[in-house]
Structure 1
Amino acid sequence: MGEQYRMSRQQRVSFTEEESKLIDEARNLMTATTGKPVTTNRFIKVTTNRRADKINNGDTNGSA
Structure 2
Amino acid sequence: MDQGFKDDKTTTRAGELRGQSDHLTTALADTEARLADLATPRKTIADVIRCLKRYAPAKSPSPDPQPLDAT
TM-score normalised by structure 2 residue count: 0.29
| Greater relative CO (CA pairs within 8 A, separation 6+) | 1
Query: Of the two, which has the highest radius of gyration?
Result: 2
TM-score normalised by structure 1 residue count: 0.31
Instruction: Tell me which protein shows more helix as a share of its residues.
Output: 2
